[in-house]
Structure 1
Amino acid sequence: MIGRRRMRPDRSVRERAAQRFLAWRAHDPELDPALPSDDEVAATEEMDRVWALTGAVADDPRLREVLRSDLARFGPEQRARRHRAIAAAIALLLAVPGVGLVGWQILAPEPQAVAASGHHFFTGVGQRTGIVLADTSSVSIDSDSALVIRMDERRRAVTLERGRAFFKVAKDRKRPFVVTVGNKQVRAVGTAFEVRIDRNRVVVTVSEGVVEVTEKGPRRPVEHQASIEAGSQLVANDDNGWDISQVDLKQSTSWLTGRLSFMGEPLADAVEQMNSYSRRKLVFRGNRVPNERIVGVFRSGDTEALAQAIELNGFGRIVADTPEQIEIEVRE
């Protein structure tokens, strides 16, 4: 199965997922208790991410009024039909740009085919993919990343060689799930977390549960050790400096939806992240990057949109635009 393109859920799946999502948001007592299919779960989770990312829509009084009106005016059978109609409309709305909301279909493009060699997996620049392991754990692999996966009756082991990956781990207390990055190991049983190699440091972000991170030293079996809880992020530098802080999970994992979310990060960091998703690079003349911070949400790899935002904010002006790069000159 590995290496094949996973098809996007068909329209009927998306509509059922939208219907379930709307009913869940409205706390509808008639919400179908039957377990949804895996495709519906994936589609619903994607809609939840989009909803959270565009929080203004969740608070739109017009939408809330429609949901309240449904609960008051319609019986279960009528309500189900109405939810299906609204779900179809929402699915259409999500697909149309320019209405204050970006569709989940756009945020989660079809995964690119992943190159595999034995247990070795690679993604190219601008490619993202997801794979499901034999134990039902899932791995989302970011752009320009490489990892090795080995599983047997005694172990579930991953070695991240470059880039970033998000792991949603199935519970199996007899076989802890261990991600190795250099001399560091991230150990989990049943949880969700991200591991990223960023220059000379390793960044671990935990979305669910708790993970344990250890570092082997040249003289001692364990040089450093830390437990990271959900909502926290560990930045482990090569100079033995470890820092744990609380993070905004929606922002830090926005890449899973095909978006890059910046909430006050240095412009240089934003440009570096954006360039990692595109072969068309954004560069500054004379390597002079403005000492500015940026707030915004961009589609991964959309260097043109970021360049235009930089120009509109007066940080610089676009002086050259080719298929290979967009060059910006800092204004004096």
Structure 2
Amino acid sequence: MKTTLQNQASYFFTCKKEGFTPAQQEAFEVWCEENPEHQEAFENVQKMASLYATLSKNVKDEIVQSVHQEIKREAIFRRNKYFAIAASILLVLCLGVYERYLAFFVPHSYATEKQTQQVLLPDDSTVLLDVKTKAVMRYANTKREITLEEGKALFDVAKNPDRPFIVHAGKLNIKVLGTHFEVKNYNNRVEVSVIEGIVSVETAEKEPLATLTQGKKLSFDTQNNQMSLKNVPIANIASWKEGILVFHDETLQSALDEFKHYQDLNISVQKEVQNFSISGSFATDEVDKFLRALTKIYALKVDKKADALYIRQKL
């Protein structure tokens, strides 16, 4: 219904712009009187057209290119005898694409709690935000920019050599042209894992740290500025989207931090055992199963006091 109304409003806007014929003028007046929403839709098209006219040539060119990806311009004119009808269809497409662009030229904030959220960018790149994640997205003429303030996100980036895709996370900048990768940022730690393509990582001061390819993972401790690199199975990257946590030679402390991201847990660990190596897969709500397995693998004991747990070596 909304699309039909916008089509009608765009048609009459085009007629008015080109100069109403008597028949078009009469049809427009009847249409406006039929429903207050008609006049409102017409005014919205006028506003969007005015905003569109203020855009730079580069942005307009991008919008036109996006429109051409959805429909061939020549076909519109072959199927429609009258210019006003064809032009109004193009206007609907251009304004529709522009609305998508406009939403991201202004910084857009996201904050998830108990559910993931997928965001589609104007260039068809996608960002999947995990639970308890905060991010700010900006879409500018020369770059695509996202600040991952906290949490996890999986990026599938459309290639565009003229507009790099930059993720700011903690003290790091992650820069790509087109690829598929995951970024984590919480508990004073930033991790970047690559599913496909090439990702360059640098500090906020523009100091290069590493260039990552498929199956590579960078971990960066933002407290002591220490970095580590390792290989990870591609299938394990962003397993959280399936509700699974996969640990591949992770420390005990980092594994527990993962569980804490999905549950309200009060668990502390004896300093001497924080770096014990952990491998395996568990559902995000299976911390009890994880703790049982932990005490079977290592000589560890889990002390429980009220709602708090403490993991230590057995005496």
> Matched residues in 1 for 2:303 and 2:226: separation?
40
Aligned residue for 1:130?
Answer: 118
Matched, 1:295 2:279: yes
Q: How many percent of aligned residue pairs carry the same amino acid?
A: 29
Look at both structures and tell me which one has the larger radius of gyration over its CA atoms: 2
Q: Residue 158 of structure 1: CA displacement?
A: 0.3
In structure 2, what is the Cα distance between the partners aligned to 1:228 and 1:191?
11
How has the CA–CA distance of structure 1 residues 123 and 281 changed in structure 2, closer, same or farther, with 3 Å as cutoff?
A: farther
Counterpart of 1:256 in structure 2 is: 241
Distance 1:269 1:186, change over 3 A: closer
Question: How many Å apart are 1:179 and its aligned residue?
Answer: 0.8
Please tell me whether residue 158 in structure 1 is matched to residue 146 in structure 2. Answer: yes
Q: Is the 8 A contact 1:290 1:315 kept in 2?
A: no
Matched, 1:268 2:253: yes
Structure (1/2) with the larger helix percentage: 2
Aligned to 2:197: 209
Counterpart check, 1:173 vs 2:161 = yes
Which segments of 5 or more consecutive residues in structure 1 lack a partner in the other structure? Answer: 1-116
Question: Aligned AA for 1:214?
Answer: E
The CA deviation at 1:154 is 3.8
CA distance in 2, matches of 1:242, 1:267: 18
Partner letter of residue 181 of structure 1? A
Distance in 1 (CA, whole Å) between partners of 2:280 and 2:207 is 39
Give the 3 Å change call, closer, same or farther, for CA 150–278 of structure 1 in structure 2. Answer: same
Secondary structure of 1:144 counterpart: coil
- TM-score, normalised to structure 1's length? 0.54
CA distance in 1 between partners of 2:201 and 2:275 (Å): 33
Distance in 2 between the 1:293 and 1:145 partners?
Answer: 27
Q: Under a length normalisation based on structure 2, what TM-score does the superposition of the two structures give?
A: 0.56
Tell me how far apart the structure 2 counterparts of residues 241 and 280 of structure 1 sit (CA, whole Å). 27
Render the CA deviation track for 1:128-153: whole Å, top value 9, x for unaligned. 33222232211122232211011244
In the alignment, is residue 193 of structure 1 matched against residue 181 of structure 2? Answer: yes
Deviation at 1:330, TM superposition (A): 4.6
Establish whether residue 145 from structure 1 lines up as the match of residue 130 from structure 2: no
Residue 310 of structure 1 corresponds to 294
Match of 1:121 among 103, 110, 123: 110
Q: 1:118/1:227 Cα in 2 relative to 1: closer, same or farther (>3 Å)?
A: closer
- How many residues of Structure 1 are paired with residues of Structure 2 in the alignment? 209
Per-residue deviation, 1:298:
0.5
Could you tell me whether the CA contact under 8 Å between 1:138 and 1:168 is conserved in 2?
A: yes
- The farther-off stretch of 177-186 and 140-149 is 177-186
Question: Match for 1:143: what amino acid?
Answer: V
1:279 alignment partner in structure 2: 264
Are residues 1:331 and 2:314 paired? yes
Shift of 1:244: 3.5
**Structure 1 pair 290–315 and aligned structure 2 pair: CA distance change class (3 A):** farther
Gap runs ≥5 in structure 2: 1-105
Partner SS state of residue 136, structure 1: coil
Could you give the per-residue CA deviations for residues 74-123 of structure 1, whole angstroms, max 9, x where no partner exists?
xxxxxxxxxxxxxxxxxxxxxxxxxxxxxxxxxxxxxxxxxxx9711112
Contact 1:129–1:141 under 8 Å retained in 2: yes
Closer/same/farther in 2, CA of residues 214 and 264 from structure 1, 3 Å limit: closer
Amino acid of the structure 2 residue aligned with 1:331? K
Amino acid at match of 1:253: A
- Aligned amino acid, residue 279 of structure 1: D
Residue correspondence of structure 1 range 1-20 to structure 2 within 5 A = none
Q: CA deviation at 1:306?
A: 1.6
User: Looking at both structures, which has the greater relative contact order when contacts are Cα pairs under 8 Å and sequence separation is at least 6?
Assistant: 1
Structure 2: which amino acid aligns with 1:295? S
Q: Pick closer, same or farther for the CA change 1:165–1:241 going to 2, 3 Å.
A: same
Three-state SS of the structure 1 residue aligned to 2:160 is coil
Aligned counterpart in structure 2 of residue 247 of structure 1, from 228, 232, 235: 232
